[in-house]
Amino acid sequence: MTEPGTPVGDVAERATAGFRQRYGAEPAGRWAAPGRVNLIGEHTDYNDGFVLPFALPLRTVVAAAPQDGERWTVWSELADSPVEFGATEADQPGRVTGWAAYVAGVVWALRAAGHAVPGARLAIASDVPLGSGLSSSAAIEAAVLAALVELGGLNLPAERRPRLAQRAENDYVGAPTGIMDQSAAIRCREGHALFLDCRTESVEQIPFDLDAAGLAVLVIDSRAPHRHADGEYASRRKSCERAAELLGVPALRDVSPADLDAALTRLDDDEMRRRVRHVVTEDQRVLHTVALLRAGRIRDIGPLLTASHASMRDDFEITVPEIDTAVEAALAAGAHGARMTGGGFGGCVLALVEASSADAVARAVVEAYAERGFATPGTLTVLPSAGATRLD
Ligand code: GAF
């Protein structure tokens, strides 16, 4: 899924080379965190529900070393010059803007939680495409967080890091996202999908050995321009929160499937009813998917993926024509199941396919795009990979 103009070469080498070139010194270490796809469970995280993401082999790498005082200097391979900020800017959400806000947000969230964050110089390189719904922002947050925690010898176990990274995104950057992406970037394990209860933050690593089963997950970058994605995301979240309030429950996770019909009759607004139906049924699809995976029945999750897509298209209304085209073409070409993954209004589709037919399915999607006059989509097969880690 390499974009034209994307830097080439190993991502860790690029981060190190950038560090040496910018700062004329060796980094003290390198930390990596992945992008993610969500196998199933969309817009359920901020409803206290269930999600099942897995980490991509595409990573963001931060090469870093301490520097004196409360100063942070950050260079990214996608920017011309480094951004510098001190405690004053870090302590005022919104003060640092653009890509560096994700870094400043992490410094802010650590400081707000009472940690003595070490000053640092950082160089960032990434293979996670920006704006494709693969969570490049959580990958930066997770990698920077890992670097600062280790450089400063801070006491912050992995299970407490996602909430902190989420605060960086919610309160410093100003995006009202849930906790899925940061959890995936930090807590995923190779060969597994991460079953996360977003209320309790308890996790179960679900074996998802595609290779052994002769299967592949094909990720299709729709290349659809994001249409008002931020505003639409925020409005979906508001609508869910309002519905929970009207139904007298702490969150939509508390509406049981058995009570769904009765709950829907208590809401006047048809649009709100559909939003609620998506969230409640999506939580059930996650639980069902997990049960099938625990039983080793990977192929059988296909229809659940496709049902999830229909629910996002018809009830949550977050898909776009490019995305629906990719799903339909993948299914017509023999995928076991396919769905949009991520927040919506563009981004990526995932399709569960026989490994031997991955190329044919990818070709079918490219052809369907050409027939509709859409820009050529990116395609990539992926295996569940590791969460944030120190490289050396
Ligand atoms: C985005 C958000 F960041 C996540 O928290 C989640 O809500 C997702 O959209 C939808 O499932 O990736």
Q: Are residues 269 and 182 in the same domain?
A: no
Question: Does residue 4 lie in a domain region?
Answer: no
Task: Please report the pLDDT score of residue 8 as a whole number.
Answer: 61
Taking the C-alpha atoms of residue 292 and residue 286, their distance in angstroms, rounded to an integer, is 10
Average pLDDT score, the chain: 96
Q: How many domains does the chain have?
A: 2
> Is residue 25 included in any domain, yes or no?
yes
Residue 312 lies in a domain: yes
Q: Which of 36, 40, 42, 45 to mutate to test the pocket of ligand 1 (most atoms within 8 A of CB)?
A: 45
Q: Is the pLDDT of residue 2 over 50?
A: no
Atom of ligand 1 nearest to the CA of 46: 7
DSSP class per residue in 137-157: HHHHHHHHHHHHHHHHT----
Structure ipTM: 0.99
Compute the distance between CA of residue 182 and CA of residue 178 in angstroms, rounded to an integer. Answer: 9
> What is the percent of the chain with per-residue pLDDT over 90, rounded to a whole number?
96
Residues 248 and 334 in one domain: yes
Please, which pLDDT band fits residue 1 given cuts at 50, 70 and 90? low
Query: Residue 340 and residue 306: Cα distance in Å, rounded?
Result: 9
- The H or E element containing residue 128 is none
Angle among Cα 76, 119, 66 to the nearest 5 degrees reads: 80
176 in the same domain as 126: yes
Q: Is residue 357 a known part of a binding site?
A: no
Per-residue pLDDT reduced to its tens digit, 84-123: 999 999 999 999 999 999 999 999 999 999 999 999 999 9
Distance CA 349, CA 338 (A): 7
Residues 280 and 182 reside in one and the same domain: no
3 has a pLDDT exceeding 80: no
Residue 130 lies in a domain: yes
> For residues 356 and 382, is the Cβ–Cβ distance under 8 A?
no
Q: Is residue 2 part of a domain?
A: no
181 is catalytic: yes
Inform me whether the pLDDT recorded for 4 exceeds 50: no
Pocket of ligand 1 (CB under 6 A): 38, 42-43, 45-46, 177-178, 180-181, 342-343
Domain-embedded: residue 3: no
Inform me whether the pLDDT recorded for 70 exceeds 70.
yes
Taking alpha carbons only, the member of 34, 38, 42, 33 closest to residue 53 is 38
Complete DSSP assignment for 333-364: TT-SEEEEESSSSSSEEEEEEEGGGHHHHHHH
pLDDT digits (tens, 9 = 90+) for 188-218: 999 999 999 999 999 999 999 999 999 999 9
Q: Residue 347: is it exposed, middle or buried by C-beta count within 10 angstroms (0-12/13-18/19+)?
A: buried
The alpha carbon of 18 and the centre of ligand 1 are apart by a number of angstroms equal to: 31
Residues 221 and 268 in one domain: yes
Whether residue 226 has pLDDT greater than 80: no
Q: What is the DSSP string of 171-209?
A: III-----SHHHHHHHH--TTEEEEEETTT--EEEEE--
Annotated catalytic residue, options 10, 80, 171, 181: 181
Residue 168 above 90 pLDDT?
Answer: yes
Rounded to the nearest whole angstrom, what is the distance from the C-alpha of residue 202 to the centroid of ligand 1? 18
Same domain membership, residue 220 and residue 143: no
Residues 258-281: what's their mean pLDDT? 98
| pLDDT grade for 228, boundaries at 50, 70 and 90 | confident
Domain identity same for 78 and 105: yes
Average pLDDT of the segment spanning 28-57: 98
How far is the C-alpha of 235 from the C-alpha of 133, rounded, in Å?
A: 18
The CA 46 to ligand 1 mean position distance, Å, reads: 8
Helix (H) or strand (E) holding 106: helix 100-112
Please give the distance, rounded to the nearest whole angstrom, from the Cα atom of residue 250 to the centre of ligand 1: 19
Give the rounded distance of the alpha carbon of 123 from its chain centre.
22
Burial 198-225 (b: 16+ CB within 10 A, else e): bbeeebeebebebeeeebbbbbbbbbbe
Task: Note whether 168 and 33 are same-domain residues.
Answer: yes
Do 215 and 201 fall into the same domain?
A: no
Q: Are residues 111 and 146 in the same domain?
A: yes
Which residue from 42, 52, 181, 240 has its CB within 8 A of the most atoms of ligand 1, so it is best to mutate?
181
Between CA 328 and CA 380 the distance in angstroms is: 18
The phi and psi torsions of 215 (rounded to 5 degrees) equal -115, 170
Distance CA 199, CA 261 (A): 24
pLDDT band per the 50, 70, 90 thresholds, residue 6: low
Residue 135, annotated as binding a ligand: yes
Same domain (yes/no): 230, 369: yes
DSSP state of 169: I
Per-residue pLDDT tens for 297-348? 999 999 999 999 999 999 999 999 999 999 999 999 999 999 999 999 999 9
pLDDT of 283 over the 80 cut: yes
Please report the atom of ligand 1 found closest to the CA of residue 180: 5
Say if 104 falls within a structural domain.
yes
CA angle 48/317/283 to nearest 5° reads: 30
Range of the domain at 232: 211-382
Q: Are residue 195 and residue 240 in the same domain, yes or no?
A: no
CATH number at residue 276: 3.30.70.890
The alpha helices in 196-320, defined as continuous H runs, are 210-213, 229-247, 260-265, 270-294, 302-314
